[in-house]
Amino acid sequence: MKRHSTGALSEERLIQQQKNYEENKNYDYVIIGTGVSALSSGALLANAGYRICMLEAHDVPGGCAHTFEMQGYHFCAQVHYIWGCAPGQRIHQFLEKIGLENEIEFCSYDAQGYDIASLPDKKRVNIPYGFNQLIENIDDAYPGERDKVARFIDIIEEISQEISNLPSKISWWNFLKDGYRLYFLIKYQNKTLQDLFDECELSQPIQTILSANSGDFGSPPKELSIFAYVCLFCGYNEGAYYPKKHYKFFIERLAKFIEDQPGCDIFYETEVSEISQEKGRITHVRSQDGKEFKGENFICNMDPQKAMQLIGKEHFPKKHLHPLSYEYSPAAFNIYLGIKGVDLRKHGFGNFNIWHCGQWDANQMWDDMMKGNYDNPLIFLSTPTLHTYEPGEAPDKCQVLEITTAANYTLFKEELEKSPKAYRTKKRELANYLIKEVERKYFPGLTRHIDLKVVGTPTTSEGFMFAPRGNAYGSKMTPTNMGLTRLKADTPFENLLWCNASAGYAGVHGTISTGCNLYTKITGDEVITKTQPTTDEAIAFAKSKVPQPHALRT
């Protein structure tokens, strides 16, 4: 069995794929990969009548958002929650465009605290919807800095407003022409989250609270672009969501939608090993098993640096090479647990995530983890079975607990190259250590209730999701990578376009937006209408329209 295969592809499916291939269809677009941005652009193009062919190395679609099954438990590889799902917001607009808004629904996380910052002094601070309540929560826990926190919030709201006012096509001309309207974007374009903390003179406890969920983008405050943080923090402030029927249904429904359209196919276990060009055009791609796929146009959801190597770096002019020189984002260490014989809610878990902050200095915490020191780590705790009342994620009377932290790819790769045994030992020791930490601080007796344990390292992500260096978010979200020089859809080839987290933005919201923007670039058909940052009152109204989890299984 191939390393990137779960064995899920049936013999019937393989026979049907071969039949589809032998029909030798003439495709309008050949799409390499089925990550979320590819599924989004593919679904829109298929819906508009284009003939789509998608090539996926794995045997299931979704990239980082794919779901794997073991012993009746279903685990989404790396996605936990999403923003932008309420009526009128981006993901909902996308689903409306293809007519799936009533099939793919979302449940809202707890409005009182979709994230909880669990701090070194054992205080827990809820991160709620609405910044006014957030200021209150922080001041209740650590009084005396209300004005400084309010200033911080004011600045990120100003940045968010200016981002929302940007045209879909942005260039240096916009900054020259409308600079007075883009004051905050110009001022903070090279700033990190830590720079803003320092400017607002926030104390260490408040920095820790406000930076806890920056782990969603895999970077410490000293490295994370303030623009990336604003998109994340303001996005979740307007609503954090989980698919009502879980990520498996969400992703597979998009894939099925594409395959249901005339002339459209998805080929699984079809790893692209060659991308051929001639006279400035891509002529065809070839898979490892020798199949050749041709189309009028090509969309690359594969990592752009890897695709460049397949095409040949010598075919890329200098101006295209600089955006392709990005550094990868950090990787994750994931522990997927099937829990039996206990209700996680009785141990303080619920319809929210917990960010366990092992020490006050977030930057030091990240530095330690990158050195392999997990004495006081950042640990993310997620409970998918508590976010929706729909079955399908776990066997009856069982639940899922996921434990995630950041990890240094090189440390695991070196162990793997040394010996598989050394690698497995390192993997097992870290997993057991983190489980013991969670058991000690949150869930006494946890190990007695573990029905299934699956562990993924950065090299696991590289093997199963073809993520170079196990990266979780494509290019690292530093100020350098978030500016106008960021990689965009265009390539040196007239019939090839990039479409992924590195040539757009990361996360489900970011990648769906990337797919929608690419579709609009190709067709001129607008999918996303302008949305303004939402008021607290509008958030409450939108939340009332989203189904809430209830009657949860025990």
> d(Cα 388, Cα 85) in Å, to the nearest integer?
15
> pLDDT tens-digit profile of 13-54?
999 999 999 998 889 999 999 999 999 999 999 999 999 999
**For position 9, what pLDDT does the model report?**
82
**For position 4, what pLDDT does the model report?**
53
Asked if the structure places residue 539 within a domain, the reply is no
What does each C-alpha distance from 50 to 174, 261, 554 come to in angstroms?
33, 9, 46
3-state secondary structure of 282: strand
Asked if the structure places residue 453 within a domain, the reply is yes
Count of beta carbons in the 10 Å neighbourhood of residue 322: 10
Q: Are 96 and 127 within one domain? A: no
> d(Cα 32, Cα 26) in Å, to the nearest integer?
16
Asked if the structure places residue 29 within a domain, the reply is yes
484, pLDDT greater than 60? yes
Asked if the structure places residue 551 within a domain, the reply is no
**For position 5, what pLDDT does the model report?**
58
Q: Are 274 and 298 within one domain? A: yes
Asked if the structure places residue 229 within a domain, the reply is yes
Tokens of 169: 């096509």
Q: Are 351 and 307 within one domain? A: no
Q: What is the CATH number of the domain that holds 19?
A: 3.50.50.60
Q: Are 450 and 337 in contact (CB under 8 A)?
A: yes
pTM recorded for the entire structure = 0.93
The mean pLDDT value for 215-219 works out to: 88
Share of the chain above pLDDT 70, in %: 92
Asked if the structure places residue 529 within a domain, the reply is no
Asked if the structure places residue 546 within a domain, the reply is no
Q: Are 459 and 360 within one domain? A: yes
The mean pLDDT value for 436-460 works out to: 97
The residues facing 355 across adjacent strands are 117, 380
536, pLDDT greater than 70? no
Q: Are 336 and 226 within one domain? A: no
**For position 168, what pLDDT does the model report?**
60
3-state secondary structure 283-345: EEEEECCCCEECEEEEEECCCHHHHHHHHCHHHCCHHHHCHHHCCECCEEEEEEEEEECCCHH
> pLDDT tens-digit profile of 335-360?
999 999 999 999 999 999 999 999 99
Q: Are 94 and 133 within one domain? A: no
Q: Are 394 and 503 within one domain? A: no
Q: Across 205-219, 245-259, 459-473, which has the greatest mean pLDDT?
A: 245-259
For 278-292, letters b (16+ CB in 10 Å) and e give eeeebeebebeeeee
Q: Are 275 and 310 in contact (CB under 8 A)?
A: yes
Q: Are 78 and 217 in contact (CB under 8 A)?
A: no
Nearest to 104 by CA among 272, 230, 254, 266: 254
The mean pLDDT value for 268-296 works out to: 96
Q: Are 170 and 21 within one domain? A: no
Share of the chain above pLDDT 90, in %: 85
**For position 553, what pLDDT does the model report?**
43
Q: Are 129 and 197 within one domain? A: yes
Nearest to 111 by CA among 531, 544, 507, 534: 544
Q: Dihedrals φ, ψ of 116, to 5°?
A: -125, 125
Average pLDDT value for the chain: 92
Tokens of 309: 């190597």
Q: Which of 192-201, 434-443, 491-500, 529-538 has the lowest mean pLDDT?
A: 529-538
The residues facing 282 across adjacent strands are 277
Residues 6+ apart with CB under 8 A from 317: 492
Q: Are 64 and 183 within one domain? A: no
Domain count, the chain: 3
From 446, 468, 490, the end of a domain falls on 468
> pLDDT tens-digit profile of 163-197?
888 766 655 455 555 656 788 998 999 999 999 99
> pLDDT tens-digit profile of 190-203?
999 999 999 999 99
Residue 167 sits in which domain range?
110-238
Q: Are 385 and 401 within one domain? A: yes
Q: Are 221 and 193 in contact (CB under 8 A)?
A: yes
> pLDDT tens-digit profile of 130-153?
999 999 999 999 999 999 999 999
The mean pLDDT value for 522-550 works out to: 59
The mean pLDDT value for 155-170 works out to: 83
Q: Are 229 and 152 within one domain? A: yes
> d(Cα 28, Cα 295) in Å, to the nearest integer?
5
The phi-psi region of residue 359 (left if phi > 0; otherwise alpha if psi is between -120 and 50; otherwise beta) is beta
428, pLDDT greater than 60? yes
Asked if the structure places residue 544 within a domain, the reply is no
